[in-house]
Amino acid sequence: MTTFNKVTAAHIAALREIAGVAYVLADEENRDRYARDETEDLHYMPEVVVKPDTTEQVSQIMQLCNRELLPVTPRGGGTGLSGGALPQYGGVLISMERFNRIIQIDERNLQVTTEPGVITEVLQMAVKEKGLFYPPDPSSRGTCFIGGNIAENSGGPKAVKYGVVKDYVLNLEMVLPTGEVIWTGANVLKNATGYNLTQLVVGSEGTLGIVTKIVLRLIPAPKHDLLMLVPFRSAESACAAVSAIFRAGYVPSAMEFMERDALEWVSQYVQGSTVTIADDIQAHLLIETDGNYPEVLMQEMEGIAGVVEGFDVGEILFAESHQQKEELWKLRRRVAEAVKANSVYKEEDTVVPRAELPLLLKGVKEIGRKYGFHSVCYGHAGDGNLHVNIIRGSLTEDQWNGTLQEGIREIFRLVKQLGGTISGEHGIGLVQKNYMDIIFDETSMRLMKQIKQIFDPNHILNRGKIFDN
Amino acid sequence: MTTFNKVTAAHIAALREIAGVAYVLADEENRDRYARDETEDLHYMPEVVVKPDTTEQVSQIMQLCNRELLPVTPRGGGTGLSGGALPQYGGVLISMERFNRIIQIDERNLQVTTEPGVITEVLQMAVKEKGLFYPPDPSSRGTCFIGGNIAENSGGPKAVKYGVVKDYVLNLEMVLPTGEVIWTGANVLKNATGYNLTQLVVGSEGTLGIVTKIVLRLIPAPKHDLLMLVPFRSAESACAAVSAIFRAGYVPSAMEFMERDALEWVSQYVQGSTVTIADDIQAHLLIETDGNYPEVLMQEMEGIAGVVEGFDVGEILFAESHQQKEELWKLRRRVAEAVKANSVYKEEDTVVPRAELPLLLKGVKEIGRKYGFHSVCYGHAGDGNLHVNIIRGSLTEDQWNGTLQEGIREIFRLVKQLGGTISGEHGIGLVQKNYMDIIFDETSMRLMKQIKQIFDPNHILNRGKIFDN
C-alpha cells in the first residue's frame, strides 16, 4: 500500500505552474471552504486546493501527484451525502468548479456535451429551452454539479419513470490517475463494443478517474404534468399503495413518500407553506404524472386516485396551479434540510424492490425501538428508495457513535434480505464503507479492489472511499 | 500467456462425474452441432460438449478447466452474429440449454428471475400473460437465449423507445473462471453501492464469467400499437426523416429502416407476402407507436405521417389488422435470413448518432463503389443502428478476404468520425476484434485486457473474443 507524501512548497509551485497562481489555494481560510460537504458533520482539511480549467491541466496535476505520491480528491458542488468529496488524507483537492461550460446542445441528435462543473439545474434549464429534457433531478439540483451526479449515479424523483443518471450517460472523457486521458465509449444509444467502461465509471465515486467531459442523451420534454398529495392514515399503507399503483398499470413520473414528521417539519421550516396535516395522518405520497396529452394525464390521475382510495386515505389535494405545484415540490426538495435543521442525524439511503417497502418501514421502526432511536423516513417510493433519517435526539455520545452502528447494520441486513442494497443514490463514500460486507462477498469485493488497482496503481485518487484500499 | 492443454479421456470422465454421462458429448457428430453459429460460414470444433444443469455444476466444470488449463466456451442459442460462441481453441464447450427455467415472475415488483437458457420469446410470452412487458426483442427471439442477449447487450426494434438489454438487467448470478460464484448487484431499480459489476458483465460476450441466474426488471405492457410502412424515393431521405420525427417530439416504439433490396429480397423469400414496392422507391421506414390510449396513438401516427410527408414519400401503408402487422414484422425480422439466402455476405453492425445516418449511408455506398462491393442496408434507424450487409456477389477470394478488410476499416473509420462505434448490438466476438483499434486507444484497450485478467487469471474463458488475450 502506498504511503502518501506531504504537499510541499515545491509541489505548490508546480501546481501554480500548471493551473495558474490564482487557482491554487494554500491558505487556511480557503482550504477550509473545501473541507466539508453535506454529510453529517464531517471535516477533513485539504493541504492545497487546485482549480484547473482544462483536461490537459487535470492530466498534468494527476501526473505530478502520481509521481510524488500525493493523495488527490476530486470535488464537484460539495453537496454529497456520503463524504465522497472529502479529502480524508489531506493532499491535493481538485475542485472542478471552473469546468462549467455546456459545450454543445445537439438538437439533431438529442444529446448534450457538457463539462462536469455545470450545475445540474443550469443544464436542465438550458436543454429545456430547446424543448428537451434531462430527467435526473436530485434535491440538490440548484447547487450540485453534473459531474458529482455521475460520480454517485444520482436519481431523484423522476427516476421512477425516466431512470437514473446511468441511463443518460453515453460517453465520458476521463483523466486517469496516471494522467492518461480516455473516452469511455461512443455517442450512441446502443453499444456492444468491448466492456462498458462508461457504466463502470458512473457511480464509481471519483475513485477511477476524473471526468472532464460528459455526453448525455436527452429526450423530448413532456408538455404537461399533474400533481397530487395523498394523505394516509398509516405509513405502511402508503408504502403498500405504491406497488398497487404499478400493478394497476400506471407509471407515474414521480411517487414520493414522506412520513408525517418529514412533511410537518418541512412545512414549519419553509416560510409561507400553506399545507396542513390532519391529526390522524401518518404519511403522504406526492404523485405526479406527465405527458403530452392533458386528458390522458387527468384520466391516469383519476385511475391512480381510484387505486389509493383503497388504502384508508384522507382528503387528496390536487395541485390546481403552477404555484401550488411549485410549493409542493419545494416542500419535498427541502425535507432533508428541514430534518438537518431540526436535529443532528445520520441518513441511510436504503433501497429495496418497491413492494417490500412496507416491510422495510416496519423493520426500521422496530429496530429503532430496539436501539432507542427515532427515525424520519421519506424518499423515492416508486423506486423503493427510502431515506431513513436517524435522529440523534437524546442519544448519548456512546449510543450515537457506538451501539447505533449495530442498529444500522440491522437495518442494512434487513435491506439485503428484502433483495435491496445499502445505497440507492447517495453512494458509499466514507460513511457506508464499513457496511459493504453486508452486500458483497469477498470475491466481489476483491474484484472491485482489483479494478481500482488497474485504474489507479498507486491508489492516489480518492482513496478510502467505497472501501479501504 | 497460458498454453492450453488438450482434453483427455480423464477430463471427459471428470466432466461426466460432474454433469452426468448423458450430458457430456464427445462424439464427432454431436460436437459438430456446436461448431457453428449464425456468423458467416465460420466453423470451430469443440473437443467436448457439456450441458450442465446447476450453478454448482458450472462451478465445478470451471474449477476443473482452470486447474487443467482447458479452454472453455459458453454457448446460448447459437444465434450470434460475431462468433462469440465459437470454440476457437477447441476445448470444453458449455451449452447452457438446460438452464431453461423461468424461476419466478414477481408481479408485485415487476421483476422476473430466470435462468439464461430460456428462449427470449418464451420469456416475453410468459411475462406478457401477466400483463407485463420485457421489451428487448432481437430478430432471433424465437431461438436465441436470454443469456446470449445479455452477453451481447442485444437490442432489437423496441430499443428506440424502451432501451436495450442493459436497461433491464438488475442483478446476475455468475460463475467466474475460477469457479467462484458471485451476485453482481441487487434486485433494485437504483443502486449506488460500489462499482457496477452488473453493467460490466452485460455485453462482455461471455469473457468474464458464465451467467447462471438473471433478474430483469419488467414494465406494464402497453395495450395498443399502430404500425405503418413508409416508402421513400431516396434512401438518404428516409434516414433524414428519422431524426426529424424525434425533433418533432415523437418517440415511436419502433423505427426500422430497410433499403429497397432488403424489402424486395425478403418479400420474395417469405411465402405469401403481399407487399409490393413501386419502381421509384429506394427505401422504407417501418414505424410503430404504442401505448394505452388508441386515440393518442392515432394522433401521434398522424403527426409522424405529417413529418415524413416532407421527405418525398410514396403511398404510406397503414397496417389495418393484426394479421397485416404480423406480416410486416415477419418481413422485417427475416431480412437477415433472406440476405443470407441470397448471397454470401459479411454483416457490419454500425451505429452512429441518429441524425448522422444519411452521412453514414452515403459514405457506405461511396466506399462500396471504391472497393467494388454491393451492400444491402437495414436496421434500427431510430437508434442510429445500421446493419450493413456486404454482398459477396462476384468478388474474388482475394478481394473478399483481402482488400475488403480495408473497405470495412474505411466504413468503421467513418462511423467513428460520426461519433459512432463498430457494434450496436451484435458484439465484437471473433469477427470484429481486429477493428477495435479504430474505436479505442491503447489505454482503453489496456484497461479492458486488465479487467479480463482480474476475472480470468488463466485466460481460459472464451479467449480470443473481443480482443486477443
**Per-residue pLDDT tens for A51-102?**
999 999 999 999 999 999 999 999 999 999 999 999 999 999 999 999 999 9
What's the rounded Cα separation, in Å, for the pair A355 and B116? 25
Nearest-Cα residue of chain A relative to residue B427 = A192
Minimal Cα–Cα distance from B392 to chain A, Å? 25
Task: ipTM value, please give it.
Answer: 0.97
What are the grid coordinates assigned to B459, written together? 485466460
Cell 488497474: give the residue. Answer: A454
Q: Of B119 and A340, which is predicted with more confidence?
A: B119
Strand partners, B317: B229
Q: Which residues of chain A lie closer than 8 angstroms to B111, CB-CB? A: 353
A246 close contact with B: CB closer than 8 A? yes
Minimal Cα–Cα distance from A293 to chain B, Å? 8
Residue B194 to residue A439, Cβ atoms within 8 A: yes
**Nearest beta carbon to residue B192 from set A110, A111, A203:** A203
What are the grid coordinates assigned to A244, written together? 398497487
Q: Which residues of chain B lie closer than 8 angstroms to A455, CB-CB? A: 447
Residue A155 to residue B351, Cβ atoms within 8 A: no
Sign of the dihedral through C-alpha A24, A26, A29, A33? positive
For position A271, what pLDDT does the model report?
Answer: 87
Minimal Cα–Cα distance from B454 to chain A, Å? 7
Cβ within 8 Å of B, A 176-215: 176, 180-197, 199-200, 202-204
Q: What b/e sequence results for B94-128 when a residue is b if at least 16 CB atoms lie within 10 Å of its CB, and e otherwise?
A: bbbbebbeeeebbbebbbbbbbbbbbbbebbebbe
What's the rounded Cα separation, in Å, for the pair B316 and B39? 35
Spell out where A294-437 has E strands.
317-318, 345-351, 374-380, 385-391
The answer to whether residues B117 and B98 touch, using CB atoms and an 8 Å cutoff, is yes
pLDDT per residue, tens digit, chain B (469 aa), is 679 999 999 999 999 999 999 999 999 999 999 999 999 889 999 999 999 999 999 999 999 999 999 999 999 999 999 999 999 999 999 999 999 999 999 999 999 999 999 999 999 999 999 999 999 999 999 999 999 999 999 999 999 999 999 999 999 999 999 999 999 999 999 999 999 999 999 999 999 999 999 999 999 999 999 999 999 999 999 999 999 999 999 999 999 999 999 999 999 999 888 888 999 999 999 999 999 999 999 999 999 999 999 999 999 999 989 999 999 999 999 998 998 888 889 999 999 999 999 999 999 999 999 999 999 999 999 999 999 999 998 999 999 999 999 999 999 999 999 999 999 999 999 999 999 999 999 999 999 999 999 999 999 999 999 999 8
Q: Which residues of chain B lie closer than 8 angstroms to A380, CB-CB? A: 190
Minimal Cα–Cα distance from A94 to chain B, Å? 22
For position B1, what pLDDT does the model report?
Answer: 63
Residue A188 to residue B451, Cβ atoms within 8 A: no
Residue A192 to residue B425, Cβ atoms within 8 A: yes
The answer to whether residues A235 and A277 touch, using CB atoms and an 8 Å cutoff, is no
Q: Which residues of chain B lie closer than 8 angstroms to A204, CB-CB? A: 195-196
A247 close contact with B: CB closer than 8 A? yes
**Nearest beta carbon to residue A159 from set B190, B249, B352:** B190
**Nearest beta carbon to residue B186 from set A192, A292, A421:** A421
Model confidence at A136: pLDDT above 70:
yes
pLDDT in tens, A432-460: 999 999 999 999 999 999 999 999 999 99
Average pLDDT over chain A, rounded to whole? 96
Please work out, in degrees rounded to the nearest 5, the angle formed at the alpha carbon of residue B342 by the alpha carbons of B336 and B343: 95
Q: How confident is the model at residue A2 (pLDDT cuts 50, 70, 90)?
A: confident
Express as a percent the part of chain A with pLDDT over 90: 95
Query: What is the strand order of the sheet A48-50 is part of?
Result: A24-25, A48-50, A92-95, A72-75
B132 close contact with A: CB closer than 8 A? no
**Nearest beta carbon to residue A194 from set B247, B380, B440:** B440
Nearest-Cα residue of chain B relative to residue A435 = B193
Cβ within 8 Å of A, B 346-405: 349, 351-356, 380, 383-385
Closest alpha carbon to A37 in A73, A78, A82: A78
Residue A349 to residue B199, Cβ atoms within 8 A: no
The answer to whether residues B159 and B91 touch, using CB atoms and an 8 Å cutoff, is no
Residue A251 to residue B219, Cβ atoms within 8 A: yes
The answer to whether residues A197 and A184 touch, using CB atoms and an 8 Å cutoff, is yes
Q: How confident is the model at residue A273 (pLDDT cuts 50, 70, 90)?
A: confident
**Nearest beta carbon to residue B182 from set A108, A356, A443:** A443
Q: How confident is the model at residue A1 (pLDDT cuts 50, 70, 90)?
A: low
What's the rounded Cα separation, in Å, for the pair A71 and A207? 11
* Residue A314 buriedness (CB in 10 A; 0-12 / 13-18 / 19+): middle
**Nearest beta carbon to residue A193 from set B249, B356, B439:** B439
Q: Of B75 and A2, which is predicted with more confidence?
A: B75
Closest alpha carbon to A175 in A56, A66, A86, A77: A56
Q: How confident is the model at residue A340 (pLDDT cuts 50, 70, 90)?
A: confident
What's the rounded Cα separation, in Å, for the pair A21 and A12? 9
For position B40, what pLDDT does the model report?
Answer: 85
What are the grid coordinates assigned to B225, written together? 400499437
- The angle, 0 to 180 degrees and rounded to 10, between the axes of the packed helices B55-68 and B9-19 is 160
Cβ within 8 Å of B, A 219-238: 219-220
Minimal Cα–Cα distance from B55 to chain A, Å? 16
For position B343, what pLDDT does the model report?
Answer: 85
The answer to whether residues B72 and B177 touch, using CB atoms and an 8 Å cutoff, is yes
Please report the domains of chain A, with CATH numbers, ordered by start residue. 102-220 (3.30.465.10), 222-429 (3.40.462.10)
For position B206, what pLDDT does the model report?
Answer: 98
